Structure 1
Amino acid sequence: MPQTPSSGFALRWRWLLPVAVALVAFHFSPLRPTLDWAFFDLASRRPLRSTPPPDGSAIVVIDDATLDQLRAEGLEGNWPPPRAAFAALIAGLERAGAKRIVLDFTFLDHSSAGEQDALLGGLAAGLPNVVLARTERQMPVFWDEAFVLGHPTCFTVPRTGLVPSITDADGVLRRYPVQGSLAAVAAGYPVAFSAAETSPAYNETPPRHSDLGALLRWHGGLNQLRGFPERVPVLSAARFILAGLPMVVRAAEAAPEFGPTPLAAAIVAEPPLQGAGFDAVRDRIVFVGSNAAGTFDQKPFAIGGLEPGVLFHWTAWANLAGAGFLRELPAWVALALAMLLLAPLAALAARHASILLPVLIAAAMAGAVLVAAYGGLSSGWFLPPATPVAAAALGLLGVVAENFWTERRRRQQIKALFGSYVATEVVDLLVRDPAAIQLGGERREATVFFCDLAGFTDLSEEVSPQELLALVNGYLEQTSDCLMAHGAYVDKYIGDAVMAVFGVPKTLPDHALAACRAALAAQRLLAERNTHLRATHGRTLSLRIGVNTGEMVVGNVGSERKKNYTVLGDAVNLASRLEGANKEFGTRILVGAATARQVGNRLVLRPLASLRVKGKQAAVPVFELVGEPDELSPDEEHFLEAYGRGHELYTARRFRDAVAALETARSLIPDDLMTGRLLADSRRFALHPPPPDWLPIVTLDTK
């Protein structure tokens, strides 16, 4: 049935509300960030456009080769290395011209050689470009995103930066809390902050910061960074330890007189180290970490796999010094976008569109979100895509569910509307192919069938109400089954009368022939029933049938509470008049001219006259349906031959010749009403011819 605007709106919201609730539940579930980060990690590994790391840095790692070298020099080669090795490393990097030395190491315990602790601490304190890591717990920060970092007015001594570790629920490092961190101190943002100042190192407004940490823009893993030797040299610590070890050994031997601070001054006074390995760190900020097996400093990063922890701090520094951190759009933006994506799918659901279109639109929306999120990483922002993509998926699921329930409701409507009036196979066809029926109205050529029992009123006075209903229902059921077996749609019952239509709702190529054969079959069934009636009640019934073909309007007619799929038009009215006109012609089945033309010679038809019904000026030829050609007896064939010749002569105004032919026909079937009428008129017109404008027309004054 057609939907009103209000009902379409209601249908739209019927599925949209639960989908929206499911979407909100998904948004706040643990699954959503898991999917968002899975996409982020995959996109970070294969960015649309690689952002090269900034110049001015280097990474030095204590690797397996370094530990082997320490053993060769007679130092402890296990992990952790002795503090003297770290002091030698600082000395070597200082002599190589490192601009700043950032150690991603925490010295939580005293070493077995306490004098080495003092040596390393004094050296770090004496060199202003050394930054050490500390692990004291950072207090929560409750500032919003408008809070910015400033540069300090002073350094603590030694310079230290926090080594924060904020992991997401899956244990992967993606964010970096900038305030007071090792990377911030390395970039010129140490512990104390002022919102009004800018970084003297980079002369730009400090990055925005919240307690959640900044989302890192990744430049690749350590092996990938080896592909940028000019931008980010990745070097082993062995050569620098060997270069600084002699001075540290001498300082340790003369510690009571020499002391740690003079060691720092002595290192600064030494000439710079020369050579390719040493030149690689000159005037660079050097991040020192570990890469040796068994050092337990391998961290899970978004770019995949385990990487040295120093890479975490270097990446944060590269973000501060280069293109900046990624800006993560707030979760509410993703949720709002997701809700907007439901709108076009809701419109499609209200229109009950084909499922292919919603699938294409949902796929396009999900693809657009993923492309935007993927491309956004290269532009410096990240749109969490899980909720918008889920909106497309859930919206499509809602459309599918709505289409399913709409289809189910449509099937139920069709079965309720036609199930009792057409054959089961027709109902199945309509259910499979909704295009076969237009409930809203259309013009179709079809054949209408009316039948009514004669003699029923007299019989009803002689039987009980229960017997009467049983008799009527038995007749109607038998007749309806007969009509449906021939492809009819049983339109309605009017007392003991039946109206049926051939050619709707199912298209029937030979609807006129099917209707005529159904009429003949109905007469045969009544003849069988009359045998029983004659035996039980001493009476019989007769059946008058009118059949007519023509164009008519087909569709639902009625009120909002009750509708009927029916046909309207002059062709329908004429079929009803033909049923009643059987009394005028003494026949049982009358058909209109259009029906007769379509049937042709496949059935036996007898021409009667032109009929003018009440309310119409034009007269239409009518015919009696006699039967199948192979079912006629010889006497019937001779009668029809004589009658046809007489009717033709009568119409041609050859009345004397018509009398002879009609007398022959009457001798074969004496009680035929139409033969007697034509014979009487022919005799009268033979004596008194009609006027020139005379036409053989029968006028019905009653409906």
Structure 2
Amino acid sequence: MSARSLVRLCISAAVLLVFVLHGGRWLPLRLLDLIENFTYDARVVLTAPGTDDPRVVIVDLDERSLAAEGWPWPRHKFATLVDQLFERYGVRALGLDIVFAEPDDSALRLWDRLHREEFSQIPEVVSRDTAIRAELDHDGRFSAALSRRPVVLGYFFKPVVRSGELPTTGGLCAPLIDARTAQLYDVDFIEARGYGGSLARLTEAASACGFFDNPLAASDDGVYRRVPLLQQYDGAVYPSLALSLVRLALGDPPVELVFDPPEVRSSLHLERLRVGPLEVPVDGRVAAYVPYRGDNRTFTYIPAVDVLRGEVVSPERLRNAIVLMGTTAAGLFDLRSTPVNKVFAGVEVHANLVSGMLDGRIRQKAPYYAGIEVVMHVLIALLLAWAFARLSALASALVSAAVVAGIVGLALAMWSGADFVMPLGVPVVFTLTLVMAHLLYGYFIESRGKREISRRFGQYVPPELVEELAAHPEAVSMAGESREMSVLFSDVRDFTSMSENLDARELAAMINTFLTRQTAVVQQHRGTIDKYIGDLVMAFWGAPLRDEQHALHAVLAGMQMQRSVRELDDEFERRGWPKLHIGVGINSGRMSVGNMGSEFRMAYTVMGDAVNLASRLEGLTKEYGVGVLVGQQTRDLLPSGWAFREVDLVIVKGRREPVAIYEPMGPKDQLDPGLREDLARHRGALQLYRARRWDEAEVEFFNLAQGPRPHPVYSLFIQRIMALRENPPPPDWNGTFTFRHK
């Protein structure tokens, strides 16, 4: 792994750590919670159908009902209300979002006093005492109205019991799961410390009870997003008002906790509640997300006074309906904050839950939600670390935008298509935080390094290599090191004599034009300009960036440099400048490269025996009349499909060992068949020459020189054979020619 990639990975890991600590609640960040809640609320509002559910109706103790009948209502009015709903309107089930905690016995107490003090001696009154008591027993009348009817009586659990407060008041229905059975589950039920219920006689008369409090709202910034369907008290487990009402409406089927896999009965594996034919998704605390249908009063509201008086405009609206009785009167304090409205009737929260359970519209937030979030963050961190390490800033920004779009798209698709709550706000913030961290690092740290690299190498290497160097600064070293590289020398022949005929301005213009073209060729082939010495160009391949094809790139550059000189002929002729001819020497091998010089001036350059040989080869191009000469190692490094003319086996000044030198011709499959035949004949002629078969060699070289493709090398060897006939070489001669000059 490169240093740049490692740094980018560390940046992603640092940001990831903060968000993982938040997701695991080891370092909760309220701002992130607010953002995630905001994106959840936005999804609720944007996808709410906004339509009524005719199966669920709210009977409302509204301001008009209170004004018409006063408050509090005596229990006999509630009894009449219940009788009206079932007998006159034929509702299916009724849920009371009200607690009847105090006895309604004021009339009975008055009758007791009157009967004892005023009417005890009146026989007619004494004989009617039982009937009168029954008439004045409002709680009894209400209890009778509840009895044998599918009515759910509401109550509330207390999460804490304050000092001096009674832990329990009123009655409590039988639990859904008894304490002994509840021990079989490793579920994180919300545990209550007390409860406040209706009078015991009312509780006993009701078919079922259900709590309507929501202790989870406090942890969800007071907003009713999710509501527990079960709570635990004193070891036993009790159902919510909405769950009990749905159960009654379905004929009182059993309620089962469904786990995946079934044998692991823990919160992490809790998937849903099964209520008869219904499947209700829940989270690890057995809470369901409220599937709001729309804003306040999306459901049908009927004033309680109209039901009480039998003045409902459309009686069929209540036929077979599931009814919730609650209040929207401001003074009775049953208003809640919800995603769809900050002032929302509490009774309508239960209505939305009932409707959602019947429709199967409740969305699931899996118990492993935090795990999903962590996995998303890890994948995003790795992707952006890779992008910012390998791509440009613009491309990385586009990748980041695609990631954000992907997060939003996935969350909306799972929300609408699978009723699944995916993390949205936190992953988006995580992505943007990562992008900001990487951009700041790139701007303040990497860009400074890039400017330094550009300063060092911009004058030597082509712009694309500078970009690569900036992208991989770990590959750059100014210190001296030994590398396998290729080096090229190019020099203008007879430049001194030509320059004598030009004034200084013309000479400068000509050499600048020439060197510009030559430099462009070197850089086009990924070469590094080492230096200019007058008309001489020195370049190398394999540093500062390594190049596995350094020999091929150097040879291609040398051959194109020859062509580029000829491309200048017309321009030079128009400007009155002489035609230039260059010789190019190329050699490969191990050489030292780095910053070298003195304390006064340093230069990034190469040194070594392989470099010196390249310089000698450039000087030999004129001797053999060739444009480009390469050494044996360069020839060996080129692809096998390349053709060469073996020029000679020479010992150059400064060396003792002979070296074979070659003229590169290009890929074999691109050569003229006649030229390929000449190359083969030339190899044969060289073998004859080195075998001292002078006559046969001379004939072969002569025939080649007289052929359609003559070459100066042929004439050179004819002259050399003539000289060797007169002065034969020593017995150990192997065809080597020694040069005494550079």
Normalising by the smaller structure, the TM-score range is 0.5 to 0.7
The whole-number CA distance in structure 1 between the counterparts of 2:328 and 2:335 is 8
Secondary structure, in 3 states, of the residue corresponding to 2:314?
A: helix
| Cα distance in structure 2, aligned partners of 1:217 and 1:86 | 30
CA distance in 2, matches of 1:432, 1:196: 60
> Which moved further from structure 2: 438-447 or 339-348?
438-447
CA distance, structure 1, for counterparts of residue 579 and residue 309 of structure 2:
125
Do the aligned partners of residues 328 and 144 (structure 1) sit closer, same or farther apart at CA in structure 2, a change above 3 Å counting?
Answer: farther
**Does the Cα contact within 8 Å between 1:338 and 1:389 map onto a contact in 2?**
no
Aligned pairs for 1:655-666 within 5 A: none
- Is structure 2 residue 311 aligned with structure 1 residue 290? no
Assess, with a 3 A threshold, how the Cα gap between structure 1 residues 86 and 313 changes in structure 2: closer, same or farther.
same
- 1:524 equivalent in structure 2: none
Task: Say if 1:145 and 1:209, in contact at 8 Å, map to a contact too.
Answer: no
Q: Deviations over 1:93-115 (max 9, x none)?
A: 23322222211112344569365
Change (3 A) 1:503 1:171: farther
Alignment of 1:461-540 (within 5 A): none
Flag the 1:594–1:325 CA change in 2: closer, same or farther, 3 A. Answer: closer
Letter in 2 for 1:113: S
Percent of pairs with identical residues: 19
The reply on whether 1:134 has 2:185 as its aligned counterpart is no
Q: Which residue of 1 aligns with 2:724?
A: none
Residue in structure 2 matched with residue 105 of structure 1 by the alignment: 98
SS of aligned partner of 1:294: helix
Given candidates 59, 83, 94, the residue that maps to 2:86 is 94
Question: Hey, what's the Cα distance between the residues in 2 that align with 1:123 and 1:323?
Answer: 34
CA–CA distance in 2 between the matches of 1:16 and 1:200? Answer: 42
Distance in 2 (alpha carbons) for counterparts of 1:67 and 1:41: 33
**What is the aligned counterpart of 2:450 among 405, 410, 417?**
410
Q: Which residue of 2 aligns with 1:376?
A: 414
TM-superposed deviation, 1:125: 4.7
Q: Do the aligned partners of 1:221 and 1:311 also contact (CA within 8 Å) in 2?
A: no
Among candidates 535, 543, 551, match of residue 557 of structure 1: 543
**In 1, Cα distance between the equivalents of 2:484 and 2:335?**
74
Name the SS for the 2:33 alignment partner. Answer: helix
Aligned-pair Cα RMSD in Å: 5.8
- Structure 1 range deviating more: 439-448 or 281-290: 439-448
8 Å Cα contact 1:366-1:389 kept in structure 2: yes
Equivalence for 1:60: 59
Q: Deviations over 1:449-500 (max 9, x none)?
A: 99xxxxxxxxxxxxxxxxxxxxxxxxxxxxxxxx9xx989xxxxxxxxxxx9
The aligned residue for residue 624 of structure 2 is 618
Letter in 2 for 1:557: A
Pairing of 1:447-466 with structure 2 (within 5 A): none
Aligned length: 474
Q: Deviation per CA, 1:629-664: give whole Å up to 9, x if none.
A: xxxxxxxxxxxxxxxxxxxxxxxxxxxxxxxxxxxx
Corresponding position of 2:377: 338
The answer as to whether partners of 1:449 and 1:546 remain within 8 angstroms in 2 is no
The offset of 1:178, in angstroms, is: 0.9
- Cα distance in 2 for residues equivalent to 1:206 and 1:607: 89
Is contact 1:144-1:210 (8 Å) kept?
no
Tell me which amino acid in the other structure corresponds to 2:205: V
Note the C-alpha offset of 1:443.
12
Q: 1:402 to 1:117 in 2, by over 3 A?
A: farther
> How many Å separate the matches in 2 of 1:286 and 1:606?
104
Deviations for 1:393-448, whole angstroms, at most 9, x for unmatched residues? 234334434543433322212223468x99xxx99x9799989xx99999999987
Which one has a bigger Cα radius of gyration? 1
Is it true that 1:386 corresponds to 2:425 in the alignment?
Answer: yes
Aligned with residue 9 of structure 2, among 5, 13, 16: 13
CA 1:442–1:60 in 2, change beyond 3 Å: closer, same or farther? farther
2:224 maps to 173
Spell out the pairing of 1:149-548 with structure 2 (5 A cutoff). Answer: 156-158=204-206, 159-165=208-214, 166-167=216-217, 168-179=219-230, 180-188=239-247, 195=256, 202-204=276-278, 208=282, 210-211=284-285, 213-225=287-299, 233-243=300-310, 276-329=313-366, 330-351=369-390, 353-378=391-416, 379-401=418-440, 403-404=442-443, 405-417=445-457, 546-548=534-536
Q: Which amino acid aligns with 2:99?
A: T
- Tell me: CA distance 1:234–1:508, structure 2 relative to 1, closer, same or farther (3 Å): same
Q: Which amino acid aligns with 1:124?
A: S
Q: Which amino acid aligns with 1:241?
A: L
Q: Distance in 2 between matches of 1:570 and 1:384?
A: 56
The aligned residue for residue 270 of structure 1 is none
Letter in 2 for 1:386: G
Q: SS in structure 1 opposite 2:399?
A: helix
Please name the residue that 2:39 is paired with.
39
**Alpha carbons 1:373, 1:383 under 8 Å: kept:** yes
8 Å Cα contact 2:96/2:153 also seen in 1:
yes
Partners of 1:601 and 1:201 in 2: CA distance:
97
Q: For structure 2, which runs of at least 5 residues remain unmatched after alignment?
A: 109-134, 161-178, 190-202, 231-238, 259-271, 477-482, 494-507, 524-528, 547-552, 584-616, 628-717, 720-737
**How far off is 1:348 after superposition?**
1.8
Cα–Cα, structure 1 residues 59 and 600, in superposed 2: closer, same or farther, change >3 Å?
A: same
Distance 1:54 1:571, change over 3 A: closer
Q: CA deviation at 1:6?
A: 4.1
Shift of 1:336: 0.7
* AA partner of residue 384 (structure 2): L
Change (3 A) 1:220 1:616: same
Give deviations 1:248-273, integer Å, cap 9, x for gaps.
xxxxxxxxxxxxxxxxxxxxxxxxx9
Provide closer, same or farther for how the CA distance between residues 209 and 9 of structure 1 changes in structure 2, counting only shifts above 3 A: closer
2 CA distance for matches of 1:177 and 1:51?
24
- In 1, Cα distance between equivalents of 2:395 and 2:136: 72
Aligned to 1:537: none
Counterpart Cα distance in 2 of 1:609 and 1:133: 102
Matched letter for residue 61 of structure 1: D
Q: Distance in 1 between matches of 2:6 and 2:79?
A: 76
On the 8 A contact 1:612/1:700 being kept in 2, the answer is no
| Aligned partner letter, 1:279 | E
Task: Confirm or deny: 8 A CA contact 2:227 2:287 kept in the other structure.
Answer: yes
How far off is 1:383 after superposition? 0.7
TM-score by length of structure 2 reads 0.51
